[in-house]
C-alpha cells in the first residue's frame, strides 16, 4: 500500500538529505564489514550489505546515520576508485570471464569485457592487466573491467617476477635492440693503458662487468689507484632511442634469480663489459691517497682510455686467498701484488672513513638459489667479506672524486644526497639521547660533523634499540642536481659514476665528466631527470621486496614450517602487532597482537617508541631477537604469520 507512495518517497528523501555527509577512505576486513576512515581519529562502520558497493581503498562520500547507538556510513558517491589499472587472475564462470584483483582485502570478482574473438584465449588462473571501467557507485551500478594485457599462465614459473613487475609498471624484458644505434661513435683521444694489468672482482656469474682496478705504490708511500669504468656513452648518444629507454628504466633491476637490464645485453654484457683479455673503452679516475687514507684533491684526474682486463676474479676466491683458506691462488705474481695493494688501500680508506666520515654496521645479505626451471633450492645467509670491502672502498673513493670534480668545474651533476634529520625529528633524537646520558643539541646533530659524531657515540653506546629508533627518524636519501652533503655516508658530497651500464644517473655523470675533460660547455639539465631517477629507484626497490616476499612464501610453504623454531629480529612495531625478519633466511614475518598475549586489552603497541607493553611492562622492542614458530603462510596475500614460541 505504501510501497510506491510518492509522498512517502519524498519524505524519505527529505530525511536522507538532512543526514550529515562525510568523505573518507574505505577499509575492508576479512569478515565482510568495513570502515570509512575520515581521519586518523575518526572512522564509521560500514555494514556488509553496503561493503558490496565499494572496494577497499576507494575514496567515497557517505551519509552518516544512527542505528542501535552506532554511527553507520552509507556509501553515496565515488570520489576516486582504489582500482584503476590493476593486476588480477582470470576466472571463467558460465561463459563469462571475471577477474580477481591481486590485492589484499580485494576479493571481489569483477566482470570483464572481452572481445568475442579473444574470449577463448583466456583460461582460469591466467594473470592479466586490466582497467576498471565501471563502479557500483557510478551510473552502471556494476563493477566491470576490460583486459589490457596478458601477463602469464597460472603454471608459469615466472609468475612471481612478471606479476610483481607488472604491478609496478616496470619492464619485464631487456630493451629492444636498435642495430644502427649500437656503434662506437666517438673520435675522442683515449690513452692506451692496455699494457697495465687491470683486474676485476665480481660475483661468479656476473656478466655486466663495469669496473676494473690498477694500483701502484709510489716512492713517498702514497698509493695511486686507477679506477676504470665501462663507457656506454661511447656507444649511446643523447637523443637516441636507447638513451630514452635507459632514462625511462633508470636502473638495471636486480631481482632474485632474474635481472632486467637497463641497456640491451649486447651492450651491458658484451660490448661494454670489461671482460678479460678484450680491449674496451673506459673512463678512468686517478686517485692518490697518502698513508693516512686522505684523498689528495689536487692529484685527482679523469681521462679517457683503452684497457684490457688481465683477470676476472671472484669475491669468494679473493677473500679466501687473503684469509689463507681454500686452494685458489692468483695466476701471476703481478695479480697477487695487485690484490695485496688493493687490500691495503681498502684498510687505510676504511680507517679514514671511520675517523672522518661514517662506516655503518653491516647487515646480513640473503641470496635465493633458484634452478633454471624456477625452483627455489635454498636461501643462504651471506656476510660481506674482504674482497667486497676492497671494491666498495675503491668505488666510494671514485665517487667522492667525481663529486669534487663536478662541483669544482660545473657546479652541478647527479648527486646522491642525504639531509640527516629535519628539525622536528632532531628534537625527538635529543630527547632519546638524554635518557642514555648523551648530551647533544639540535644545532649540532643537524650539521654534517655533528651527525657523524652522534653516530660515533651511538657505536660506543652499542645499544641496538636506541640505534634503531634514531635510524627511523632519519630522512630518506634523495637525488639532486646541486651538490649537498650525504649525511648517511658522512661526506660533503657524493656523485656516483661507477655503474653507467646499470644506472642512468651514472651515464649522465659520465657525459658531464667527459665535457670537463674536453673543456666543453654543458647546460644544467631539467629537474625532471632527478624525479624520474628517484621514481625508478623507488619502484625497483619495492618490486625487489615484493618478489622476495612471494618467493619466501613458496619456499617456506614446501617445508614443514610449523615444526621449526626460528630466531627473528624485530624490525617494526605496528598498531596490529610485530614485524620481524627470520635471521636464518631473511623472510619477513608478522606476529598479530592476538598472539602476543591472551588478553588483548592488556597489550599496547607503541609504534613511535618501537615497543610493546604487556601489563604496563616492556615485553618487546625493535631490534630484539626473539624465538618464533611459523603459524600460517597466506599464499594469496604473500604473508607469513608467526607466533612467539612461548605463546604457541
Please calculate the CA angle 417-422-424 and round it to the nearest 5 degrees: 170
* 112 grid coordinates: 570483464
Nearest partner of 200 among 179, 218, 214, judged by Cα: 214
User: Of the listed 102, 211, 546, 624, which one is catalytic?
Assistant: 211
Task: List the beta strands (DSSP E) in 383-437.
Answer: 415-417
Any catalytic annotation for residue 208?
Answer: yes
Can you name the residues that pair with 366 across neighbouring β-strands?
Answer: 381
Cα 413 to Cα 182, 250, 331, 476, 489, distances in angstroms: 26, 16, 40, 19, 18
User: Of the listed 58, 102, 126, 210, which one is catalytic?
Assistant: 210
Between CA 198 and CA 213 the distance in angstroms is 5
User: Of the listed 202, 231, 320, 624, which one is catalytic?
Assistant: 202
**At a CB cut-off of 8 Å and minimum separation 6, what does 428 contact?**
473
Any catalytic annotation for residue 502?
Answer: yes
Between CA 404 and CA 396 the distance in angstroms is 12
**At a CB cut-off of 8 Å and minimum separation 6, what does 13 contact?**
none
Q: At what angle do helices 448-461 and 464-472 cross, to 10 degrees?
A: 150
Between CA 296 and CA 293 the distance in angstroms is 9
* 128 grid coordinates: 592479466
Any catalytic annotation for residue 210?
Answer: yes
Any catalytic annotation for residue 270?
Answer: no
- SS3 state at 434: helix
To 10 degrees, the CA torsion angle through 553, 249, 132, 87? -20
Cα 334 to Cα 197, 231, 397, 488, distances in angstroms: 8, 26, 23, 37
Q: Which long-range contacts (CB under 8 A, 24 or more apart) does 601-605 make?
A: 605/573, 605/574, 605/575, 605/576, 605/577, 605/578
User: Of the listed 208, 231, 506, 546, which one is catalytic?
Assistant: 208
Any catalytic annotation for residue 356?
Answer: no
Any catalytic annotation for residue 290?
Answer: no
User: Of the listed 235, 315, 415, 504, which one is catalytic?
Assistant: 315
User: Of the listed 249, 280, 353, 502, which one is catalytic?
Assistant: 502
Between CA 332 and CA 320 the distance in angstroms is 17
Residues forming the active site: 202, 208, 210-211, 315, 502
Amino acid at each position: 500500500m505504501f510501497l510506491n507512495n510518492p509522498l512517502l518517497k519524498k519524505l524519505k528523501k527529505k530525511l536522507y538529505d538532512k543526514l550529515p555527509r562525510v568523505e573518507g577512505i574505505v577499509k575492508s576486513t576479512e569478515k565482510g564489514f568495513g570502515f570509512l576512515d575520515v581521519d586518523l581519529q575518526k572512522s564509521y562502520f560500514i555494514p556488509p550489505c553496503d561493503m558490496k558497493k565499494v572496494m577497499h581503498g576507494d575514496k567515497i562520500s557517505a551519509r552518516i546515520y544512527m542505528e542501535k547507538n552506532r554511527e553507520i556510513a552509507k556509501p553515496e558517491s565515488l570520489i576516486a576508485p582504489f582500482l584503476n589499472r590493476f593486476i588480477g587472475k582470470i576466472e571463467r564462470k558460465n561463459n563469462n570471464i571475471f577477474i580477481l584483483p591481486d590485492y589484499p582485502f580485494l576479493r571481489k570478482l569483477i566482470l570483464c569485457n572481452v572481445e568475442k574473438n579473444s574470449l577463448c584465449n583466456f583460461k582460469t588462473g591466467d594473470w592479466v592487466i586490466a582497467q576498471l571501467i565501471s563502479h557500483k557507485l557510478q551510473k552502471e551500478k556494476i563493477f566491470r573491467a576490460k583486459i589490457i594485457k596478458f601477463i602469464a599462465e597460472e603454471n608459469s614459473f615466472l609468475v612471481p617476477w612478471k606479476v610483481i613487475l607488472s604491478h609496478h609498471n616496470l619492464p619485464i624484458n631487456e630493451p629492444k635492440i636498435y642495430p644502427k644505434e649500437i656503434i662506437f661513435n666517438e673520435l675522442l683521444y683515449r690513452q692506451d693503458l692496455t699494457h697495465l694489468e687491470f683486474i676485476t672482482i665480481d660475483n661468479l656469474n656476473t656478466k655486466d662487468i663495469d669496473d676494473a682496478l690498477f694500483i701502484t705504490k709510489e716512492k713517498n708511500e702514497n698509493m695511486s689507484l686507477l679506477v676504470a669504468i665501462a663507457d656506454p656513452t661511447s656507444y649511446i648518444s643523447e637523443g637516441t632511442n636507447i638513451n630514452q629507454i635507459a632514462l625511462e628504466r633508470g636502473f638495471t633491476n636486480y631481482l632474485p634469480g632474474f635481472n632486467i637490464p637497463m641497456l640491451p645485453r649486447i651492450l651491458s654484457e658484451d660490448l661494454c663489459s670489461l671482460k678479460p683479455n678484450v680491449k674496451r673503452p673506459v673512463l678512468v679516475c686517478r686517485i692518490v691517497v697518502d698513508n693516512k687514507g686522505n684523498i689528495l684533491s689536487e692529484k685527482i684526474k679523469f681521462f679517457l682510455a683503452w684497457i684490457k682486463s688481465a683477470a676476472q676474479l671472484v669475491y669468494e676466491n679473493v677473500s679466501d686467498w687473503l684469509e689463507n683458506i681454500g686452494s685458489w691462488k692468483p695466476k701471476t705474481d703481478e695479480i697477487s701484488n695487485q690484490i695485496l695493494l688493493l687490500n691495503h688501500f681498502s684498510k687505510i680508506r676504511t680507517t679514514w672513513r671511520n675517523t672522518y666520515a661514517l662506516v655503518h654496521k653491516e647487515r646480513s645479505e640473503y641470496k635465493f638459489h633458484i634452478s633454471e626451471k624456477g625452483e627455489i633450492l635454498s636461501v643462504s645467509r651471506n656476510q660481506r667479506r674482504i674482497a667486497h670491502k676492497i671494491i666498495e672502498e675503491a668505488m666510494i673513493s671514485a665517487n667522492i672524486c667525481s663529486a669534487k670534480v663536478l662541483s669544482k668545474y660545473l657546479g652541478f651533476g647527479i648527486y646522491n644526497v642525504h639531509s640527516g634529520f629535519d628539525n622536528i625529528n632532531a628534537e625527538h633524537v635529543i630527547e632519546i639521547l638524554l635518557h642514555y646520558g648523551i648530551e647533544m643539541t639540535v644545532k649540532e646533530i643537524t650539521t654534517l660533523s655533528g651527525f657523524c659524531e652522534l653516530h660515533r657515540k651511538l657505536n660506543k653506546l652499542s645499544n641496538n634499540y636506541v640505534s634503531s629508533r634514531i635510524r627511523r627518524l632519519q630522512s630518506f636519501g634523495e637525488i639532486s642536481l646541486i651538490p649537498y652533503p650525504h649525511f648517511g655516508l658522512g661526506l660533503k658530497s657524493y656523485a656516483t659514476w661507477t655503474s653507467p651500464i646499470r644506472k642512468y644517473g651514472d651515464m649522465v655523470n659520465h657525459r658531464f665528466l667527459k665535457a670537463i675533460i674536453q673543456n666543453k660547455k654543458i647546460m644544467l639539465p631539467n629537474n625532471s631527470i632527478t624525479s624520474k631517477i628517484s621514481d625508478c629507484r623507488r619502484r625497483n626497490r619495492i618490486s625487489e621486496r615484493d618478489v622476495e616476499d612471494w618467493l619466501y612464501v613458496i619456499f617456506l610453504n614446501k617445508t614443514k614450517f610449523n615444526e621449526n623454531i626460528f630466531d627473528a629480529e624485530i624490525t617494526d612495531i605496528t598498531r596490529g602487532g610485530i614485524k620481524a625478519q627470520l635471521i636464518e633466511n631473511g623472510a619477513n614475518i608478522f606476529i598479530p597482537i592476538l598472539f602476543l598475549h591472551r588478553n588483548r586489552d592488556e597489550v599496547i603497541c607503541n609504534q613511535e617508541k618501537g615497543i610493546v607493553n604487556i601489563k604496563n611492562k616492556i615485553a618487546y622492542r625493535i631490534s630484539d631477537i626473539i624465538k618464533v614458530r611459523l603459524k600460517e603462510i597466506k599464499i594469496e596475500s604473500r604473508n607469513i604469520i608467526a607466533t612467539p614460541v612461548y605463546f604457541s
